[in-house]
Amino acid sequence: MSHHQPIRAFSARAKGSLRGTIRIPGDKSISHRALMFGGLAKGETIISGLLEGEDVLCTAAALQAMGAKIGRGEDGLWRCFGVGTGCLKEPEDVLDMGNSGTSTRLLAGLIAAHPIHAVMTGDRSLRKRPMKRIMDPLSRIGATFSSRDGGRLPMAIAGARDPKAITYELPVASAQVKSAVLLAGLNCPGETVVIEPRATRDHTERMLRHFGAQVRTETASDGRKHITLSGPQQLQGCAIDVPSDPSSAAFFIVAALLCPGSDLRMQNICLNPTRTGLIDTLLEMGADMTIENRRDAAGEPVGDLLVRGGGPLKGIRVPEERVPSMIDEFPVLAMAAACAEGETEMRGLGELRVKESDRLAVVADGLAACGADLETGEDWMIVRGKGRPPRGGAEIDTHLDHRIAMSFFVLGLVTSDPVVIDDSAPIRTSFPNFLDLMAELGVEVFQK
């Protein structure tokens, strides 16, 4: 069966253990930033391992519309010739950001500090997501915004003619808001400072340094982080090998752990400590995983992950301070929890309600339909595992959310009755070769 056409209503079974060596596609957060910084930097940037999903291609198209030269060579490498800080061109048409919240918020930061006018829109799901959180700080820099009610796309940005550096304390821990402010700061004279209540992903700071920018990170006496960037600054083109996405690897890690006898090696995984919450949590639950060949790539720590399956997982309480480092992994962690022995308690999950779908509700409804024992509240979930997979036998309405679709796909590998996923199109958008990699490891896909 071809996996290249979207499939409506399908389920999957593991033929046995999952065995092999795979390379998961490049990290989405790092791919977006590699293109953005390459599109802004002076000189040539060469990117290997770029995730070629629709979201990332929307980023490339938006930067091309603002004057960057970006293309993929026959060799599979992407090359960017950037415009230089302060030199973004005004796009002639609306920028379509597809489904990418990351891209929308970070590019809004770049545009806000350039004297240009731009309009951004996206697909139905992105048009529902809140953008007010970036409008507030970027307005203080001097940009003006008009948007639909509630700060939603389409959104028009008139960039500042005379951008001002600001000090901004994040009201909620958000890597995207932090990054938007720092990227605006590249073209603001003076010191742009972002103060974080608690640590979030630091891909932007690491990559800015890789491109030669001066960025300082200091921890104040009250424990809050101060990130300081002096502008204006030029970035210098460079080479980047994008490491594999730990959020995409999550589905394969959990699948291998749930299928007895699995022996899976995943190469070149990004091991940034702000992204490894799921790995830490599964190790605490008793997972058999080891990391080999640790090294550094484009400012990011990477390594190879070995996962052996079938050992019993035990329920734990996930520490709340770990939530930001694994917010996207809770749906698939909930699948592992449903197969584990005992209670897995997850709190501080409010952010899941404003992702591509209300992920907390969708996961809870789907697991309950599959026969799992759980309860949820406003921002928490407790799953009571019986030490074996729930029965399955449900059809999951994924609400066009790729992480929901892939999470229930993984659960369906080990339930006694099939778990039917309503649509494969969202999986193809975020992780184009997901079904092919699963097939390579011995998973069969059935159309309903």
328 is catalytic: yes
Residues 6+ apart with CB under 8 A from 436: 3
Residues 6+ apart with CB under 8 A from 2: none
8 Å CB contact between 193 and 226: yes
- For β-strands 8-14 and 420-423, DSSP reports them as antiparallel
Question: Which has the closest alpha carbon to 445: 124, 437, 244, 397?
Answer: 437
Residues 6+ apart with CB under 8 A from 95: 61, 62, 65, 107, 118, 119, 120, 121
What distances in angstroms separate CA 91 from CA 233, 310, 361, one per listed residue?
Answer: 23, 53, 39
Annotated catalytic residue within 123, 202, 328, 401: 328
DSSP string for residues in 166-203:
-EEE-SS--HHHHHHHHHHHTTSSEEEEEEESS----H
Residues 6+ apart with CB under 8 A from 270: 27, 30, 243, 244, 245, 246, 300, 301, 302
8 Å CB contact between 60 and 45: no
Active site residues: 328
